[in-house]
Amino acid sequence: MKQKYSISKNIENQQIVINEYAELDKEIMSLLCTQTYDFETVEAAIQKGKDTLFRIVRNINFYPPYFYTNAISDTIIGLMRSDDNGPKELLFDDVDLLATEEPDMDDMDAVEDESDAIDELLDDDIEETFDDDETLGNINSPLKIADDESLDIEDDI
């Protein structure tokens, strides 16, 4: 899915405005969410560090993935430090994000070891020590079915 974030400064209201868009139809970006943050809150978060800004940016209605939040935070810091009011647009495609992630080779070795162990479970190398000639002896079972009880459950429904 493609997503776009438009980040701008609203000087009149002293706010950072983030608009989140997603490609819900082919080549058409639809507005999903608009978030506003006071300059004071953002500036205080920047002073405390990028982790604090992450916590300010993300909330119950707006929770972009870590990679996106990192780029959004960098853009917010850039806007706050400049005279430019924006809008700055960030465009992300989940396919690109997934394609750039390299697999950890240690994890791959663990997966191969796991698959070898599963293959060993499927081997039919069981020695048969059972004799087919032996008959079962008299089995005494404590459970007895009454002769007058019906096993036909359809009548009971």
Range of the domain at 61: 2-95
The answer to whether position 149 is within a domain reads: no
CB atoms within 10 A of CB 68: 18
User: What's 150's DSSP letter?
Assistant: -
Least confident of 56-65, 104-113, 146-155: 104-113
Q: pLDDT digits over 72-128, tens only?
A: 999 999 999 988 877 899 998 877 767 655 555 555 555 555 556 666 666 666 666
The answer to whether position 147 is within a domain reads: no
Give dist(CA 106, CA 156) in Å, integer: 59
The answer to whether position 110 is within a domain reads: no
pLDDT in the model for residue 117 = 60
The arithmetic mean of pLDDT across residues 14-37, rounded, is: 90
CB of 4 closer than 8 Å to CB of 90:
yes
Rounded to two decimals, the pTM is 0.60
Strands of 2-10's sheet in order across: 28-38, 15-25, 2-10, 88-93
Structure confidence at residue 41 as a pLDDT band (50, 70, 90): very high
pLDDT in the model for residue 63 = 87
Task: Name the domain count of the chain.
Answer: 1
The answer to whether position 27 is within a domain reads: yes
Least confident of 25-29, 63-67, 143-147: 143-147
Structure confidence at residue 132 as a pLDDT band (50, 70, 90): low
User: What percent of the chain has pLDDT above 90?
Assistant: 32
Given phi > 0 = left and psi -120 to 50 = alpha, else beta, which region is 14? left
The answer to whether position 16 is within a domain reads: yes
The answer to whether position 157 is within a domain reads: no
The arithmetic mean of pLDDT across residues 53-77, rounded, is: 89
Largest CA distance in the chain: 95
The answer to whether position 67 is within a domain reads: yes
Query: Which single residue is written with the structure tokens 């899915």?
Result: 1
The answer to whether position 81 is within a domain reads: yes
